[in-house]
Amino acid sequence: MSQEHFAAIRAEIVSAGRAMVAKGLVAGTWGNVSVRIPGSEQVLVTPSGRDYDSLTSAEIVVVDSQGRVISGGVPSSETPLHLAIYRQRRDVQAIVHTHSVFASACAVARRGIPPVIEDLVQLVGGEVEVAAYALPGTVELALNAVQALGDKQAVLLANHGVIGCGTKLSEAMLACELVEKAAQIYLYANTLGGAKVLSDEDVAVMRRFYLEHYRVRQRGET
Ligand SMILES: [Zn+2]
């Protein structure tokens, strides 16, 4: 990979960190962002406990598949979680982890977000399930998250927050935003007499459309 491409990914990670705060998906220094370096087992990840406003591209940490630091300072404490997903899912190239309010309400109640709205269903691939509880930063949390994620693009972490995955960083960020939006819609719908869940057949049709047409079209445009 060229130095220009490497620098562009680092800059994109910094922008994503700032966007998480601007969009209200995290507060303070919480949340984290990573991108798999194309064609390698190495991952670029946000550093631990750094304020996103003053974060620079040079501070983005490079780790290998075992979490050993190749360059930079201390990586995000959730790096084991990111690495576990990259190991299991070869299609995933970017991961965003947020603590957004409505999705976290579902995570605290340990209730998944059912497939209730089409944008969520297309991008995430169905119900957003809740991973079994484990302490933040632990290998146990990483294993639980991978299991609950399955072949979808988002998962809730019990009493914690959201993980969104994508074939590129913008898609992982969008997954987190759509999970938050769907959680809000789901909770409001329940105050209006109850959310009606889409059928498995329709979920499958919409997901297939996203994978076979929409995502391909987006790739052609960029
Ligand atoms: Zn977190």
Per-residue pLDDT tens over the stretch 46-72: 999 999 999 999 999 999 999 999 999
For 146-161, how does the pLDDT look when each residue is reduced to its tens digit (9 = 90+)? Answer: 999 999 999 999 999 9
For 114-136, how does the pLDDT look when each residue is reduced to its tens digit (9 = 90+)? Answer: 999 999 999 999 999 999 999 99
> How many Å apart are CA 166 and CA 180, to the nearest integer?
16
Amino acid at 15: S
User: Looking at residue 220, what is its pLDDT?
Assistant: 59
Ligand 1: centre distance to CA 101 (Å): 12
Amino acid at 32: N
Taking alpha carbons only, the member of 15, 188, 179, 187 closest to residue 99 is 179
- For range 83-104, the mean pLDDT: 97
Ligand 1: centre distance to CA 43 (Å): 18
Q: Give the tokens for residue 70.
A: 């190749």
Q: Whole-prediction pTM value?
A: 0.96
**For 161, phi and psi rounded to 5 degrees?**
175, -145
Q: Is 61 exposed, middle or buried (0-12, 13-18, 19+ CB in 10 A)?
A: buried
DSSP line for 64-116: -TT--EEESS-B-TTHHHHHHHHHH-TT--EEEEE--HHHHHHHHHT--B-S-
Name, in order, each residue with C-beta under 8 angstroms of 113's C-beta and a sequence gap of 6 or more. Answer: 103, 106, 120, 127, 128, 156, 179, 182, 183, 186
Ligand 1: centre distance to CA 8 (Å): 25
Amino acid at 220: G
Ligand 1: centre distance to CA 75 (Å): 13
Secondary structure of residue 52 in the 3-state scheme: coil
Name, in order, each residue with C-beta under 8 angstroms of 186's C-beta and a sequence gap of 6 or more. Answer: 106, 113, 114, 116, 195
User: Looking at residue 3, what is its pLDDT?
Assistant: 85
Ligand 1: centre distance to CA 31 (Å): 5
Catalytic positions? 78
Question: Where do the H-state alpha helices sit in the chain?
Answer: 3-22, 79-88, 101-109, 118-124, 139-149, 169-191, 200-209, 215-221
Q: Give the tokens for residue 63.
A: 């780790």
User: Looking at residue 222, what is its pLDDT?
Assistant: 41
- For range 9-21, the mean pLDDT: 96
Share of the chain above pLDDT 90, in %: 90
Ligand 1: centre distance to CA 77 (Å): 9
